[in-house]
Amino acid sequence: MQFFRCMNMDFIKNRYKFFLVSGFLLAVTVFALIYRGGPNYGIDFAGGIFMQISFKSKVKLQNFREAVKESGINFFELQSSENVIILRTKKGTESLEEVEKLVKNSIESKFSDNVVKIDKVEYVGSTVGKYFLKQAVYAFLFAFLGMIVYLAFRFKSSLWGIVSVIGVLHDVFICFGFLVFASKEINITVVAALLAVAGYSINDTVVLFDRIKENLEFVVKENLSTVINKSINEVLARTVVTSFTVFIIACSLFFLGGEVIHTFAYVMIIGTVVGVFSSIFVCAPIVYEWEIRKNKRLKKVLP
């Protein structure tokens, strides 16, 4: 089953238009960071309030979530075990006693036929959050370094690895901007989602680069732009079909998966689209730009 037949699109010729689109998305990300006053760090990074609440009879987590929202607390995380629910929320202007009172009044009103007991209320500092933030940075740095080393070895040139990492940084930064723009909390789940986007993006780029290198070895008479365009057109059907599959799954999780996985799915939706865009319209044209400047002879290919 083929969705694309005899594709012969000239991606390299229109590369500057695609660079403008990429620049616009990056500008939107920077604007979001300025407009929102920086990222909205979650409890994992900013610290917050820890509450342990027990019930005589077991309650549904979704009903408890609704009760907490009715108390006026919007950003929080829940964990449940038997008849005990653990609530973690960021510390705002309210004191511990005020937060405890708000939550207790709301859940007692919601579960009037149940016995509610606040077992523990304490403030969790951001020391652990700083550790998580440092570990997240290390995770990205080691991932990027590993990509550069592997691709440099695979393609016998550091150029391909560096360009691939540029594409990954492009995708992760734009996804991060959409998170900030939508006022999503930046927590460990988001870090996992961004790493998943990075892995998906690098996979797509490696497939394309592998086809380009293969065609460069077997097609001698054609110029670089023709080889890159041919390679993109050859993998386009595979890229669109696989990406669309991931996109459908991410949309299903976003709309049907519940609030726990909502942000993860949101990042995957944005990352899937941006990842395909960067592989085809950013990474491959950057390789072309680099090569025509490295070798003056190739400048004759395009004006």
Is residue 172 a part of any domain in this protein? yes
Let me know whether 52 and 24 are in one domain: no
Q: Which helix (H) or strand (E) covers residue 50, if one does?
A: strand 48-55
Give the up-direction half-sphere exposure of residue 201: CA atoms within 13 A in the CB hemisphere.
38
Let me know whether 258 and 111 are in one domain: no
Q: In which domain, by residue range, is 52 found? A: 48-124
Is residue 133 a part of any domain in this protein? yes
Q: Rounded to whole angstroms, how far apart are CA atoms 68 and 90?
A: 13
Is residue 114 a part of any domain in this protein? yes
Let me know whether 60 and 135 are in one domain: no
Q: Rounded to whole angstroms, how far apart are CA atoms 191 and 135?
A: 10
Give the per-residue pLDDT at 175.
95
Q: How many CB atoms are located within 10 Å of the residue 44 CB?
A: 24
In the listed set 124, 150, 180, which residue is the last one of a domain according to the structure?
A: 124
Let me know whether 33 and 118 are in one domain: no
pLDDT in tens, the chain (303 residues): 455 555 678 899 999 999 999 999 999 999 999 998 888 888 777 778 888 899 988 888 888 988 998 888 877 888 887 789 988 887 766 777 888 888 888 988 888 888 888 888 888 766 556 777 788 788 878 877 887 788 777 777 778 888 988 999 999 999 999 999 998 988 888 988 998 998 888 888 988 998 998 888 876 667 889 899 999 998 988 888 889 999 999 999 999 887 778 999 999 999 999 999 999 999 999 999 888 877 654 444 444
Q: Are 87 and 33 in contact (CB under 8 A)?
A: no
Give the per-residue pLDDT at 60.
87
Let me know whether 27 and 176 are in one domain: yes
Let me know whether 221 and 79 are in one domain: no
Is residue 8 a part of any domain in this protein? no
Is residue 5 a part of any domain in this protein? no
Q: Which helix (H) or strand (E) covers residue 128, if one does?
A: helix 127-155
Give the per-residue pLDDT at 286.
93
Let me know whether 120 and 136 are in one domain: no
Written as six digits, the tokens of 120 are 């523990």
Let me know whether 110 and 141 are in one domain: no
Give the per-residue pLDDT at 220.
61
Q: Against a cut of 0.95, is the pTM above it?
A: no
Is residue 85 a part of any domain in this protein? yes
Q: Are 98 and 63 in contact (CB under 8 A)?
A: no
Q: Which residues contact 21 (CB under 8 A, 6 or more apart)?
A: 277, 281
Q: Which residues contact 102 (CB under 8 A, 6 or more apart)?
A: 71, 72, 73, 94
CATH of the domain at 59: 3.30.70.3400
Let me know whether 103 and 196 are in one domain: no
Give the per-residue pLDDT at 301.
44
Distance of CA 179 to the CA centre of its chain: 8
Is residue 209 a part of any domain in this protein? yes
Q: Are 110 and 66 in contact (CB under 8 A)?
A: yes
Let me know whether 143 and 235 are in one domain: yes
Give the per-residue pLDDT at 290.
87
CATH of the domain at 288: 1.20.1640.10
Report helix angle 127-155 to 188-218, nearest 10. Answer: 10
Written as six digits, the tokens of 245 are 């599959």
In the listed set 91, 124, 157, which residue is the last one of a domain according to the structure?
A: 124
In the listed set 106, 124, 142, which residue is the last one of a domain according to the structure?
A: 124
Is residue 1 a part of any domain in this protein? no
- In order, the DSSP letters of 52-69 are EEEESS---HHHHHHHHH
Q: Are 86 and 9 in contact (CB under 8 A)?
A: no
Domain count, the chain: 2
Q: Are strands 76-81 and 40-41 parallel, antiparallel or unpaired?
A: unpaired
Let me know whether 35 and 85 are in one domain: no
Q: Rounded to whole angstroms, how far apart are CA atoms 79 and 259?
A: 13
Written as six digits, the tokens of 112 are 């009037």
Q: Which helix (H) or strand (E) covers residue 14, if one does?
A: none
Let me know whether 281 and 146 are in one domain: yes
